[in-house]
Amino acid sequence: MMLSPFWGNLAGVVTVVTMLSFIGIWIWVWNGRHKQKYDALARIPMDDEEQSQ
């Protein structure tokens, strides 16, 4: 079954948009400005164990 070129172009655009979104989120997450927040979140499980003893 032949598909029209429109669907091939649409699939390409969706792929590019998805890839750019993934790369943008990855850059935002690994940005140094978020280090303190991530460190605090990483310590939460250890803080809970210390409080329960």
Task: State the pTM of this model.
Answer: 0.62
CA–CA separation, 21 and 40 (whole Å):
26
Output the pLDDT for position 52: 58
Output the pLDDT for position 50: 59
* 15 sits in which H/E element: helix 5-29
Output the pLDDT for position 47: 84
Output the pLDDT for position 8: 92
pLDDT, tens digit, 9 for 90 and up, residues 1-53: 777 899 999 999 999 999 999 999 999 989 989 889 999 999 998 887 656 55
